Every structure is written in structure tokens, then in C-alpha cells.
Structure 1
Amino acid sequence: MKKEIAVKFDDLEWLYSPNWEYFDYGNCKRHLQVIMPYSKKGLEKKYPVIFYITGAAWHKQEMYNDIPKLVELAKKGAAIVSIEVRESDIAIFPAQIEDIKNAMECVVEKITKFNLPFDIKEAYLMGHSSGGHLAMMAVLHNACGMIEMPNVKGVILESASSDILICSNEPLPPWMSVRPSTVLLGIDSIEGNEEIAYKASCTSLISEDIVLPPVLMFHCINDPVVSVENSRTLYEKLEEKNHSVEYYEIKDWDEHGGNIYFSETVLTIIQDFIKKTK
């Protein structure tokens, strides 16, 4: 059988460029996974950049598992830079904030050097679970003058473990024997070290005096790993201190991550958020 067919397609493609080294710390090198737009005809514009930090309870991240899902996010109109941060087992908090800063600065340099189609003036920080905690803390450290990094237009948090003290009151999942927040902070127990845990929680740095970019938050009401109280507490604090925040609680599902956060509903909300804040 032989047939001729007419095909319509979008010339815009999304290319995956793996393992960009952004920093050598001596005891480890850290890398970026990059998803970027490409067209044979040439691109007519530069694209927003979403810097993404995956969740791993602040331990070693699986950098490749999320690539297929992140492509779906990229198709909504953004370049994606997935940041590998130092795991808490080799560097305690706030080393991971320095990693985010170094990763963003590396991309800024590469945009200039290689004329990449990224608009760093439209940069966003996005994180899931422990990655959400780090994304928000990076923005807060920047706003409080504790670190200086490229500015971001918005923060996107998914099931963020934003409050260490709330997390410490939750039962450990059966696959964990050590509370991950203690490893992150370099302490033996949260009990007796509440002040250290509080200072590493997002609400501790939120005041009316700082300037924050808009925040977009998602959390499953029945999240079995990171309690929804993390996001409820963060949302209330941001509202109380008059910062821009949108918060969506997802009903009916007892999910912590995965496909639910890359559903068409969630991706469209993220896309609209970026359009509003550009």
C-alpha cells in the first residue's frame, strides 16, 4: 500500500541537553539538565527560564526521572533548567542555596556566551517537596540580603516541605529510618534544636519589609508524605505580610508528587501564572 498524506506540525521542538557542569566543589561536581526550545527556521523570541529543584528529602537526587514530565512543562512555553544540588549527606543547609545561586549564574554566563534563547529577566524558581523548600528559601535569602543571586519573577512550589518544625511532628514514612531534616541541619534531633529548625523554615524569614516575587503553590490535601499544613502555614504567613500568593489545594487524591503535578490542569495554571508575572 502506498499513500500520500498531508501533515501539519509545529516546527518548534524541545531539545534535551544533559549534564551541564555548573560548579566543581572539589569533593563533588554538580550538574544541570536543560530542556531548550529549537526551530530549524530560527526562534523569533527568547523564552522564560524555569529553574527546577526536584524533591529527594534533601538527599541525592535522581536527575533523569523527571525529564519526560518536565518536557510537558516546557511545551507550555519555557526553557527548563533542572538543578542538581549538593545532598545533605555531604553539605548541610544552607549550602544548597549557594548551589542554586551558582547554577543560575552559570546559566547567565552561558546565555551570553552561546546566545541561548533564554530570557533571564523572566526567570522562575520551581521546586517539589524538599526542592520547594529550597526554592522558597533561596528567594527569601536573596530578599533578606543573605545571598545575592539573579532575580526571579515568581516562585512555584509543589508539596513543599516548607516548615521543618511541622515536618518533624509527622511520622516518618516506612522507608526512612532517620528524619531527613536532621541530616539537612547537621543535628541529631529536632527536639532541643527547635531554633535551628525554625530558622531553616520559610516562615521565619517572611516580613512586610522584604520584597518577594509572586508565589504560586500547590499541595494535595491528603498528601501522605509532606503534610498540607506546610503549605497552609506558608500561605497564611505570606497573606498576613501582604505578599502576592496563589494557593491551590488538590482534593480527592492522596498523592505527594508524580503525574498529578504535570496534569493539564496544573500545567495550565503554571502557564497562566508565568504570563501574568512576565
Structure 2
Amino acid sequence: MIYVLKDLCNTIAEVYGKSILKGVFIMKHTLKVDQVRDGLWLDSDITYTQVPGWLGNTTRDLKLSVIRHFQTNDDTRYPVIFWFAGGGWMDTDHNVHLPNLVDFARHGYIVVGVEYRDSNKVQFPGQLEDAKAAIRYMRANAKRFQADPNRFIVMGESAGGHMASMLGVTNGLNQFDKGANLDYSSDVQVAVPFYGVVDPLTAKTGSASNDFDFVYRNLLGAEPENAPELDSAANPLTYVNSNSTPFLIFHGTEDVVVPIKDSEKLYDALVENNVPAELYEIEGASHMDVKFLQPQVFKIVMDFLDKYLTRS
């Protein structure tokens, strides 16, 4: 009976092109694989600048993480997306969204998650100064990362969306350039804020919730209604002009933290100044909703970038 079963198994193996070793099917394949995408590296927590630390008495590093492509050893250059995480300027993590943003890297972008100081360490415009330092660092090191210095995109959510907007409207304003690599520009080519804060005052007074009112006082060092000059300095609407970079704005219709009307005001101001702009109001989306991370939204972003980025 044992020999009959062994012969039967061997017959089956011969029919199906499989070998048997100690009762286990061994399957051997030859596979031709098409190379349809790049390999990616992650450079995590690179120091891009140093700033005052504990009570101004020490020095601390600011970090960024880079998802980049395998080296091609030629003149290939990739556009760069700078991502600024939210957190009410109170707590940020520059790595937190990198898993979601790999989609952009797979489509030919370099993705940079940027750490910036929270409002417990510095008040505005310290955060904007940090962001511009990160952009200058990447421009100074463009060859190392195969980055295209003429195709820099800024993107962020909530407080990070405010950062993206401020960067998009302050090209050429040298007062926010502090620190290292000052021989390089901090200008950007496209801004993509997701449910970003615009005017701190109207964000506070227009919010459906007062749970986060304190974040604007912490950012400015005063209540925005009591400090109009500080509020104006931190308001992207103050700086919008015909030289502002193209904007793609996203906001959820059910956002109770940052009023959607503020994104509409930003869009209107851009259009009035003949700045290319598009606004997408995501039906039913709340603040920091997973709907913003869906392929449908990312495709809109990439189509917009294809339209307004000039390839070097």
C-alpha cells in the first residue's frame, strides 16, 4: 500500500511539473519582472539647522526626514514635497504622516517631513523661520538628494497648513530667512494647505469649538483680538499678491476646529490677485479626516502639480 501511494504521488508530481522531497511539494518558477517603479530610501532625522535650546542657553537640532529615490548617477532630478504636520503649534511629529505620503514618492517625488519648533519653544514667526531654513537646506543639498531646486512644493495640515500657506505667500521676503544656508533661496513653487489655519483671529472666533482657543494665544504671545499687529503678521492674507505661488486648498465641510470660511477667504484673495488657485471642499470631512488621505485626493494633488510645476 505504501509503494502504491508513493507511485501515485510521483505520477501526480510528473503531471503537474512538481517534485516531491520527503512528502513536500517543491515548486520552482522562473519569473520575468518588469521594473515599473524606483526603489526608495529613507534618511531619517537629519539635522537641517540648529536653534536656541533650553531657555536660550543651549543649542538644539531641528530634524527632517527624507524619502528619496535610489541614486541614478545621472542628471535625474525629482520635485520635492515638504510636509508640515499639524498639532496646533503645540506638538508636532515630522515623521507621523510619512507612511501615507509614500504614495507621492512612488509617483516620482521626494518627500521631506520637517520638524519645526512648537509654541512652547518659540512664538511666531519662529516656526516660519524654521520652515524656510529647511527649504534652504534642501536647496543647498539638492545634488545629494537628486532634488530639483526649481520644483519645491509645500504641503501641510491644520497648523502645518498655515505653514504651507505662509510659505506660499512670502517668496522673496527676506525678513523670515534666519540661520544657515542664507546664500540659497527659500522660495517655493506650489502650496497645498489641508484645512489650514489662515487668520488666527477668525480661526479662533469662527470655530465651532472653543477647545483650541488657547493655541492662538500661545502662537502669538497674546490673544489675537488684543494684538492686531501680531495677528496680521501671522495671517497669509496679509501677504497675498500677484507673485504668490499657485495654491491648491482642501477643507472639510464638517470641520469644527478650523472654519472652512477661512479657506474660502484665502481662495478669494488669491483669485483677486490673479494667482492660480483651486479649492476643494470635501463633503462630510472633519478636521484631520482620513478622507484627505485617499487616492482620489492625492490624484487631484498630482494633477495640479503636473499643471503648475515647470520641469527643469
1:245-266 CA-to-partner distances (Å, cap 9, x unmatched) read: 1111111x23222532221111
Which of 87, 96, 105 lines up with 1:74 in the alignment?
105
Counterpart position of 2:248: 216
**Structure 1 residue 151 displacement after superposition:** 2.4
Which of 235, 259, 283 lines up with 1:201 in the alignment?
235
Which of 187, 190, 194 lines up with 1:158 in the alignment?
194
2:156 maps to a residue whose letter is G
Distance 2:44 2:141 in 1: 14
Distance 1:269 1:162 in 2: 22
**TM-score normalised by the chain length of structure 2:** 0.79
Counterpart position of 2:67: 35
1:15-74 CA-to-partner distances (Å, cap 9, x unmatched) read: 2110010111131210001111116x6577211011111111112212222110011222
Distance 2:74 2:210 in 1: 46
Counterpart position of 2:129: 98
**Structure 1 residue 122 displacement after superposition:** 0.8
Which of 36, 58, 63 lines up with 1:10 in the alignment?
36
**Of 225-234 and 135-144, the range deviating more from structure 2:** 135-144
Contact 1:132-1:160 at 8 Å conserved across structures: yes
Number of residue pairs aligned between Structure 1 and Structure 2: 269
2:203 maps to a residue whose letter is C
**TM-score normalised by the chain length of structure 1:** 0.88
* Structure 2: gaps (5+ residues): 1-24, 54-59, 178-184
Distance 2:39 2:99 in 1: 14
Distance 1:55 1:133 in 2: 9
**Structure 1 residue 93 displacement after superposition:** 0.3
RMSD, aligned CA: 2.1
Counterpart position of 2:79: 48
* Structure 1: gaps (5+ residues): none
Contact 2:84-2:94 at 8 Å conserved across structures: no
1:95-128 CA-to-partner distances (Å, cap 9, x unmatched) read: 111111211111122224x3x2211111111111
**Structure 1 residue 8 displacement after superposition:** 4.0
2:246 maps to a residue whose letter is P
Counterpart position of 2:160: 131
Distance 1:55 1:49 in 2: 19
Which of 180, 185, 192 lines up with 2:220 in the alignment?
185
1:125-182 CA-to-partner distances (Å, cap 9, x unmatched) read: 11111111112112323345544533222111111111212211125465x5x61011
SS of the residue aligned with 1:135?
Answer: helix
Kindly indicate whether residue 47 of structure 2 is the aligned counterpart of residue 21 of structure 1. Answer: yes
Contact 1:14-1:71 at 8 Å conserved across structures: no
1:222 maps to a residue whose letter is E
Distance 1:166 1:109 in 2: 37
Contact 1:121-1:151 at 8 Å conserved across structures: no
Contact 1:72-1:262 at 8 Å conserved across structures: no
Structure number with greater CO (CA < 8 Å, separation at least 6) is 1
Instruction: State, as a whole percentage, how many aligned pairs show the same letter.
Output: 26
1:71-104 CA-to-partner distances (Å, cap 9, x unmatched) read: 1222222101111111111110001111112111
Distance 2:149 2:156 in 1: 18
Distance 1:49 1:64 in 2: 16
